[in-house]
Amino acid sequence: MAAALLAAAGHSAHATGVPAVLTAAAYTYAPGDTDTPGLELHVFQGSQLVFVNADPLGAHAVTSEDTDTRGYPLFNADAINMGLAADVSGVSALAPGRYPFYCYVHAPSMTGVLVVDPLPV
């Protein structure tokens, strides 16, 4: 049942209720980097996103370009070193849509897009 829903929606890397994983390596996000448009980063609405830094070349972060009414990013994970993982706080509260993000250590050269999909019905 769940597998059929996921296949129908074109999601292979995650399921509802299971955190999606965003990795950084060689100054590139995987998936979802702006330089690799065929590899989109998707989460279902309400799901969490875990950020893993697998890059020996440096610390990386994940911060949304869009901000809330108080000027804070809609989602954020502060810079972490290789081998560490962090929850990207705020992702589970996002409405469906496309959300550009960047690494504040390496912007503007390190950017990506998070796609939040509506829950399958």
Q: Does 11 bind Cu ion (CB under 5 A)?
A: no
Does 33 participate in binding Cu ion (rule CB under 5 A)? no
Residues 6+ apart with CB under 8 A from 99: 64, 65, 66, 74, 75, 113, 114, 115, 116
Q: Which CB sits closer to Cu ion, 85 or 105?
A: 105
- Report the distance separating Cα 10 and Cα 76, nearest Å: 26
Site string for Cu ion, 37-66 (x = CB under 5 A): -----------------------x------
82 binds Cu ion (CB under 5 A): no
Which positions lie near Cu ion, rule CB under 5 A? Answer: 60, 103, 105-106, 110
